Each structure stands twice: as C-alpha cells, then as structure tokens.
C-alpha cells in the first residue's frame, strides 16, 4: 500500500508544467461554465421579476389566493392554476414512480437476456425523444376516449367518492396526469437504472452470501443503497411535469376552476401561459409574468427539496 502511494506521488511530481497548466485551465473552464449557468438562472429570474413588477404591486400575495382570471376587469389570480399544476404532477408521479422504478430494477438485474434488455433500454429512452405535441395529439385521439369510458364507469359506480364525483367531459385532470406519467417515465427509469447499476457488485454478493434471497437483496439492499439516486430522478421528473406545456394544454381542459374530482377539467400555470400570452396586453402580460415567476419559484423549491433529501439520505 505504501509503495503504491509513493508511486502515485512520484508520478504526480514528474508531471510536466504543460500538463499542470492544462489541469488548471480545465478547472477554471469548468468553474466558469458552472458560474455561467448560475448567472443565467439568476438573470432569467431577475427579468421575469421585473416584468411582473406591476402585477406584484397591484395584487401582491392575493394573486396566489384569488381564483378569478378576468382580463376584461384586470382581475387576476392563479390559485386554480397552482392547484392544477401540483395535482396533475402528483397524479403523474403516482403512476410513473412505481412503474419507472420497477422497470429500472428489471433492466438493471439479470431478469432478461442482454439483447432483450438492450432493446428495452433503447425503447424507454426513445420515449423521451418524442415531442410533447405528439403526446398531446395521441392523448386526444387515443387516451381521452379510453379514459372517458373509464371515467363514466367510475362515476356511475363510485360517484359517491369525491375524486369521481363529476361525469367526464373528455379532457380533464386525469388524462393530463396520465400523459405526464408517460412523459416522465423515461427520466425516472433511466436515472434509477443508472443508480442501481452503479452499486458495487460486492454488495449484491455479500447479501446473497449472508442468505438473502434475490428479492430481499433488491428490496432491502439495492433500492435503499440507490435511494438518493432514485429520489433525484423522481424530483427531476417532478420538475419536468410541473413545467410541461403543450401536452397538458391539449388534455387538461383549461378550466379556471378548482375541483377535487379527477374527471373534471382543470388548468396549470404553463397551460395558462401558452393559451393567453400571445393575445395578452397591458396588465395581463405582467400578470402572466407573475404566474411564470410563481412557477419558477415552485420548481426551485422542488429542486431544493431534492437536494435536501439526497443530503439527508447520504448522511444516514
């Protein structure tokens, strides 16, 4: 061990000045890129905050609690959009997380032949390359009719449950949540698979050597060991779901109402921006920028929570 350390030290000392200069240059270059990304983020937030200034001065915090969006009277509030953004994202993750993590386990372990796994990995990653508008068109012509029939059945037999209390009208919160689940599935699967693959094989062998079954090793050893990576994948998918625009706009119904029913139409902040920004003027533009600032803040909170959870898990 001492000999290896001495060899490493001597190799470091024998490096030329050019190599050391290249290392220092690479460090400075990556640092500049890192600070550049942070500066771009702050610049975007600063510009959005300036543009939303008039709406902030007029509405203040009541903008977050008001349910009215009336350009005629210049009365604006984004509570229904905040509710729709959070609920549709939660529905998407509720569906995508178990499927994505389960798929990652199957693709990271020796359940399938190598060639079959390669095809499945490529197919999952291909889902991320499909444009969101294609998801929206597919959702309108394929997903909405299926979920409408399902919604009618749920409303007929389980209408006493608040989540299914309204008859489906086509686009609504449930189709938007399902399409978000499909769109975030590649992120959760790919990153969770990378986290599981990065676990040392000695950990698997030690668990099996101590008498653990295959599923005990997966559920009690591997998944807890990769938990920080899985949480990062879920939070990244949540950020993607909260900011998704076209597919959700086409499927959610764009109704500025708050309803606990999953079968009722709703709205999100991104859908509000997509629908109204092109025709907005005056105070409405500032109100839309205020809504964008709220969405910016929500995604920032999600990422901070993700980092906090990952750090807490690493300390355990």
Domains of the chain: which residue ranges?
36-315
Answer yes or no: is pLDDT of 209 > 80.
Answer: no
Distances in whole angstroms, Cα of residue 221 to Cα of each of 97, 189, 217, 275, 308: 19, 19, 5, 47, 22
**pLDDT category, 5, cuts 50, 70, 90?**
low
pLDDT tens for each residue of 242-280: 888 888 888 888 888 888 888 888 888 888 888 888 787
Indicate whether 185 pLDDT > 70. yes
pLDDT tens figures, 29-67: 888 988 988 898 889 888 888 888 888 888 888 888 888
Fold observed for domain 36-315: MetI-like fold (1.10.3720)
89-101 per-position pLDDT tens digit: 999 999 999 998 8
Query: Where do runs of H (alpha helix) occur along the chain?
Result: 2-13, 17-51, 53-59, 79-108, 114-127, 132-138, 144-158, 173-197, 201-209, 214-217, 223-225, 227-243, 246-251, 269-276, 283-315
What pLDDT does residue 6 have?
53
Report how far apart, in Å, the C-alpha atoms of 14 and of each of 11, 22, 226, 292 are. 5, 15, 39, 55
Residue 229 pLDDT class (50, 70, 90 cuts): confident
């Amino acid at each position: 061990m001492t000999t290896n350390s001495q060899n490493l030290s001597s190799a470091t000392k024998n490096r030329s000045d050019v190599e050391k200069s290249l290392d220092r240059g690479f460090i400075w270059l990556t640092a500049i890129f890192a600070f550049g990304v942070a500066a771009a983020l702050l610049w975007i937030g600063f510009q959005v905050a300036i543009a939303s200034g008039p709406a902030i001065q007029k509405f203040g915090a009541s903008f977050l609690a008001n349910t009215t969006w009336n350009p005629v009277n210049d009365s604006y509030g984004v509570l229904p959009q905040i509710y729709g953004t959070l609920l549709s994202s939660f529905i998407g993750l509720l569906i995508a997380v178990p499927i994505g993590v389960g798929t990652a386990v199957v693709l990271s372990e020796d359940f399938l032949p190598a060639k079959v796994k390669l095809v499945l990995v490529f197919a999952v990653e291909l889902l991320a390359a499909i444009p969101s508008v294609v998801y929206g068109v597919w959702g309108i012509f394929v997903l909405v009719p299926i979920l409408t029939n399902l919604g009618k059945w749920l409303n007929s037999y389980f209408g006493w449950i608040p989540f299914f209390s309204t008859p489906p009208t086509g686009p609504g919160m449930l189709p938007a949540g399902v399409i978000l689940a499909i769109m975030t599935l590649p992120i959760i699967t790919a990153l969770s698979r990378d986290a599981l693959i990065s676990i040392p094989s000695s950990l698997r062998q030690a668990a099996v050597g101590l008498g653990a079954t295959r599923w005990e090793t997966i559920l009690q050893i591997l998944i807890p060991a990769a938990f920080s990576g899985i949480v990062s994948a879920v939070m990244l998918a949540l950020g993607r779901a909260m900011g998704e625009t076209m597919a959700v706009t086409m499927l959610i119904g764009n109704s500025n109402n708050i309803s606990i029913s999953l079968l009722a139409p709703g709205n999100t902040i991104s859908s509000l921006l997509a629908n109204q920004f092109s025709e907005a003027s005056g105070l409405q533009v500032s109100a839309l920028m205020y809504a964008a600032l709220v969405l910016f803040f929500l995604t920032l909170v999600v990422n901070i929570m993700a980092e906090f959870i990952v750090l807490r898990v690493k300390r355990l």
